[in-house]
Every structure is written in structure tokens, then in C-alpha cells.
């Protein structure tokens, strides 16, 4: 069983390794307090009601099953579990900030974001 700080490596089809981490909670909200808004991304009935009937176009391209998949079930527990543990950052902004810190203090050269603070 993986611990909360487990790091796993994934090799994609183009052989570039990327890493993901299983993290602990990153926000103080409880999972049950989150309200998930469930919607239908493809609402062909609403479009037809407002004069834009695209159903025939989607049927001709055999995309009705795909639309059904997009409108399929939303796993609320999984969504809530993900969001209380998500850690998101802008990679370009992060890299610029790291480069600035290295210019200010050359001892940071080669260190990770976490090590730089």
C-alpha cells in the first residue's frame, strides 16, 4: 500500500518520464463540505429547443455514443477526494521564479522548488 508521499514514475509512449505524487490533504475543507456542480457538457435537446438542431450532424458522424459518454455519470466522491488533495501551479511562472532565485543566490543552482522554499 502506498504512503501519502509515494512517488511513482510513468513512461509515456514517447519515452519521456513524468512523475506524479499521491499527496495528503492540501486544503482545510472537509470532502463532504464541497458542492460539485454536475452539468451536461453536450446538451443537444436545449440547442434544438433554441433553434440550433445539431442532432442530425452528430448522428451522421456516429458521435451520439460519445456525447452520451460525455454526459455520463459524475463520480462525486472521486471529484471531492481529488480536489482536497490537488496541488496546482503554473510551470512557466514557477520556472521564472526559480531562475530569479538562482540569480539572487547562486547556491540554489540545481535545487528543487521545495528546497528553495
Would you state the pLDDT for residue 12? 44
Question: How large is the average pLDDT for residues 85-104?
Answer: 84
End-to-end CA distance of the chain: 30
Q: Which residue has the higher pLDDT, 86 or 54?
A: 54
Model confidence pTM above 0.75: no
Q: What confidence tens digit (pLDDT) does each residue in 21-74 have?
A: 666 777 777 888 888 878 777 888 888 899 999 899 999 999 988 888 888 788
Q: Say how many CA atoms lie within 13 Å of 90 toward its Cβ.
A: 4
pLDDT score for 21 = 62
Domain positions in the chain are 1-33+75-110, 39-73
Which of 19 and 13 is assigned the larger pLDDT?
19
Q: Sorting pLDDT into bands at 50, 70 and 90, what band is 10?
A: very low
Averaged confidence pLDDT in the chain: 77
Q: Which three cell numbers stand for residue 70?
A: 460525455
Reference 81, options 38, 26, 43, 39; nearest CA is: 26
- Confidence band of 2 (pLDDT split at 50, 70, 90): very low
Amino acid at each position: 500500500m502506498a504512503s501519502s508521499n509515494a512517488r511513482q514514475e510513468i513512461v509515456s509512449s514517447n519515452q519521456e518520464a513524468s512523475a506524479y505524487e499521491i499527496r495528503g490533504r492540501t486544503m482545510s475543507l472537509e470532502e463532504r463540505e464541497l458542492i460539485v456542480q454536475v452539468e451536461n457538457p453536450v446538451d443537444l435537446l436545449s440547442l434544438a429547443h433554441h433553434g440550433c438542431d445539431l442532432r442530425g450532424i452528430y448522428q451522421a458522424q456516429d458521435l451520439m455514443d460519445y456525447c452520451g459518454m460525455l454526459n455520463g455519470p459524475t463520480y462525486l466522491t472521486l471529484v471531492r477526494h481529488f480536489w482536497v488533495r490537488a496541488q496546482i501551479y503554473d510551470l512557466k511562472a514557477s520556472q521564472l521564479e526559480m531562475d530569479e532565485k538562482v540569480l539572487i543566490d547562486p547556491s540554489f543552482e540545481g535545487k528543487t522548488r521545495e528546497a528553495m522554499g
